[in-house]
Amino acid sequence: MGGRTDQGRNARSLKAFSFLLLAIMVASLLLVHTASYEPAVSYILLYLVSAVGIITAAVVVPLLPNEHFTTGFCGSIYALYAAIVAMMVFFSGGVSSEHYVMFFPLLLASALHGSWRMVLAVLVAVLFCYGLAMLPGLLEEGTGQEIASLVFYRLTVVGLTGLFLIYVSRSVLPAALAEDYATDADGSLLLERIEEELAARRGVPVAVVLLDPGGDMEAMDLLLERVYSRIGEPVLLGEGNLFGVVVSGVDDRGIESAARRGLAAASSLGARDTRAGAAVYPRDARSAEDLLIAAGRALEAAFEVESSSAIVLAGRGAPRGSEANRYRAAR
């Protein structure tokens, strides 16, 4: 449910890694032709597999628009890269090939997206594909204990590296990202993000959720980190604790669910008086500016609800003067 900024970051990370992988694959093909390279190579099959990887990394991924780069899509591309690298290892000498080192930048790149689930999925794909590539060599008659130990050692190193990166992407990286969240003094940054989302998601509902965890909220960095991982990238508004999140492709239930997750995160960190207001385009507004205004009015209505926590969604075109009909409060 993350906004356009999440997909933009995913796109930049994956496209940058694709170009890096392209350079590594070309260097690997040159390496197998050097006189010092001893393992047996199946050149034709290696070229075919490398061609798939090169076309994917040089053409397919860079040309895709940013809205395609969801977490699931990026994880699938990394899994495809893992399979291609494993086949390159198999056709360039199998157990004797040193091309397995390409798995390490692949795992590192997946961790930079800030999703530990993606790193876990990529790690499973890497271990499965590499283990499958090594299996024929291990089953060969006459394979010694030394070869089996070498494969086990490599799998262990790759696995431990992946586990470390899972820890980094789950604990360290989100905290670092939280320090970089923008502060929007006049609402212009949030307005710009709404306009970008509306332009990219034509025909799809786009919502703005404003959340106020209350003035007693002290662990704002941790709250922003949790909101980022559960909803989308937040934008701090002014010098207080108020912040906004842009979400898209969801109905009222999904919007309310996003707001509830944000308020639940605040409550778990000690917030006692939490409020959220939301509005959705095109139902509640016809422009980005009007959408932000509608969300602000919904937040104001949330403060009128006699409860320690309230969520208000802007209504469906009720008369301006009728506050009771104009808003729907969820306690």
Q: 278 forms bridges with which residues in the sheet? A: 209, 313
Number of neighbouring beta carbons within 10 Å of residue 141: 4
Residue type, 140: E
The token pair that represents 272 in the structure block: 């006692």
The token pair that represents 301 in the structure block: 């209505």
- Find out whether 311 and 253 touch, Cβ atoms under 8 Å: no
| Rounded-to-10 torsion of CA 270, 169, 125, 22 | 150
Record the pTM.
0.61
Burial of 215 (0-12, 13-18, 19+ CB in 10 A): exposed
pLDDT at 15: 94
User: Which residues in the chain come in under a pLDDT of 70?
Assistant: 1-7, 141-143, 172-186, 239, 316-331
Burial of 277 (0-12, 13-18, 19+ CB in 10 A): buried
How far does CA 79 lie from the centroid of its chain?
15
**4-31 and 103-111 are packed helices; what angle lies between their axes, rounded to 10 degrees?**
170
Task: Say whether 241 sits in a helix, a strand or coil.
Answer: coil
Task: Say whether 67 sits in a helix, a strand or coil.
Answer: helix
pLDDT at 102: 96
- Find out whether 137 and 94 touch, Cβ atoms under 8 Å: yes
CA 244/CA 242 separation, integer angstroms = 7
Q: What are phi and psi of 237, to 5 degrees?
A: -110, 115
**What pLDDT, in 10s, does the model give residues 92-118?**
999 889 899 999 999 999 998 878 889
